[in-house]
Amino acid sequence: MAADFFDTNVILYLLDDGLKADRAEALLAQGGTISVQVLNEALVNCLRKARMSHDEAGEFLFGIRDFCETVELTVGTHDVGRALAARYKLSVCDSMIVAAALLSGCTRLWSEDMQDRLTVEGRLKIVNPFADAA
């Protein structure tokens, strides 16, 4: 499996123009992993914020799935996520993404929204891919 995992916000920057969109595109072109949680969150944002149709959002997300391996949400992911939320003071949604990244063997989680440089369970480093673009 790929060592990189992508948070929803990185995926959504593909819908924008500018440096962050370019950075997101370059990272995703190298491949990586996402979870069904990321797909669900991206779908909500495509429909509500980007005002895409269901067909447009589906095409966009199928394109993401071409570049990324997608891991399923399981009861095990939920259990690990609950524990991580309590231990690291993460939101429920973020903890489920972190859990999926850990369980899939990733070593880096690209996220603009989570704590930059936090190492989770000594194995997964959260990195803001846009920190140097600010």
What is the pLDDT confidence band of residue 132, given thresholds at 50, 70 and 90?
A: confident
What pLDDT is stored for residue 133 in this prediction?
59
Decide which of 132 and 134 is more confident.
132
CA distance 68 to 35: 9
All domains of the chain in start order, with CATH = 4-129 (3.40.50.1010)
What count of residues does the chain have?
A: 134
CA distance 69 to 59: 16
| pLDDT greater than 90 at residue 12 | yes
53 three-state secondary structure: coil
Contact 18, 133 (CB under 8 A): no
